[in-house]
Amino acid sequence: MTTVETTPADGADPASIAYLPLLARLQGEFLAGIAEADLAAPVPACGRWKVRNLVEHLARIHHWAAAQARRTTETPLGRGPFDLETLYADCARELLETLTELGPHADASTLVGRGPASFWHRRQVHETLVHLHDLRAAAAGTPALGLADAEPQVWADGVDEIVTMFQPRQVRLGRMEPLRFPVLLLADDVPGARSWVLGFPEPDRAREVAPDVVVSGTSEALALVLWHRLTPEEAGLTVQGDRKDLAAALAERLTP
């Protein structure tokens, strides 16, 4: 076991991030990137995807999320072929207008049951942010830090989403087994050096855990490693403890 003094993070304060203006900016940057992209270029760290698959995926996710926020049945977009700039612009606009009109407190369908529409404010910011990284990684030919611009607190919020929502949901859905080795994540670029214990989403339980391995670095680096976009080495993370335990945790399907 590795001993580190830490205070695992409580959930992110929704008031600390203006999600919808940020979503609008990220969508605008993604749309601008489509016009400059080679649609046949491979997307690093995304299997067999080409840029055209990435663009269509994010457009469909925006369209689907808008329906989830409204608690209505999604209208099928069809199989295409599509003009990808138009498709993305239309779906991005639909999502942003839907979330704006509903407001944060509207009753919505979420990935964890019924909840406020604000769930989708956060979820779609992080969906768009990681795929903006993917789009720019495809243009650069390799993933790297700094491709998608967001404040450290935004990247830290993305880490929090994975630890507190996605990873436990993956366990509940039978997509992965509970983690055998607790992994302490330390974000050193936000006030108070936020921390989480992967595999223990509840802060009270996390405080009682002696982690097998401690991983520290920037919030962006942690988020992109958890999304399997970068390795810990590529992200410049510092690892204390058994790297095999970390590798075992990262080999799991932490996200959908």
- Domains: count for the chain: 2
Query: Given this model, what pLDDT does residue 6 score?
Result: 46
pLDDT at 7: 46
**Which of 109, 140, 171 delimits the end of a domain?**
140
Cα separation values, 106 from 121, 154, 157, 256, Å: 12, 23, 22, 25
Residues of the chain with pLDDT under 50: 1, 3-12, 14
**What digits encode the pLDDT tens for the residues 111-155?**
999 999 999 999 999 999 999 999 999 999 999 999 999 999 999
User: What's the CA dihedral at 210, 214, 219, 224 to 10 degrees?
Assistant: -110
Write down the pLDDT at residue 15: 52
- Beta partners for residue 252, in sequence order: none
Residue with tokens 């994010």: 58
Residue 186 sits in a domain whose CATH number is 3.30.1050.10
Q: Of 58, 65, 256, which is closest to residue 166 (Cα–Cα)?
A: 256
Residue burial 161-198, b: 16+ Cβ < 10 Å; e: rest: bbbbbbbbbbbeeeebeebebbbbbbbebbeeebbbbb
Distance CA 145, CA 220 (A): 7
| Residue 195 belongs to some domain of the structure | yes
Domain identity same for 68 and 95: yes
Residue 94 placed within a domain: yes
For residues 19 and 136, membership in a common domain is answered with yes
The answer as to whether 145 is a domain residue is: no
Residue 68 lies in a domain: yes
Q: Cα–Cα distance between 134 and 164 in angstroms, integer?
A: 23
Q: Which domain holds residue 70?
A: 15-140
Nearest to 92 by CA among 59, 141, 47: 59
Tokens (6 digits) for 247: 């590798």
Looking at the fold, whether 114 and 220 belong to one and the same domain comes out as no
Return d(Cα 176, Cα 256) in angstroms, integer.
10
What lies within 8 Å, CB to CB, of 156 at 6+ separation is 9, 12, 187, 190, 194, 219, 222, 223
- Residue 48's CATH number: 1.20.120.450
Tell me how far apart the terminal alpha carbons of the chain are, to the nearest angstrom.
29
Residue 107 lies inside a defined structural domain of this protein: yes
In angstroms, the Cα distances linking 211 to 14, 40, 56, 184, 214 are 28, 43, 40, 6, 7
Residues 134 and 57 in one domain: yes
Q: pTM here?
A: 0.93
The amino acid sitting at 98 is: T
Express each pLDDT in 65-76 by its tens digit.
Answer: 999 999 999 999
Would residue 72 count as lying in a domain?
yes
Q: 240: exposed, middle or buried (C-beta count within 10 Å: 0-12, 13-18, 19+)?
A: middle
Give yes or no: residues 30 and 129 share one domain: yes
How far is C-alpha 89 from the chain's CA centre? 21
pLDDT of residue 16: 83
Which residue in this structure is represented by tokens 């509940």?
172
Query: 132 and 23, same structural domain?
Result: yes
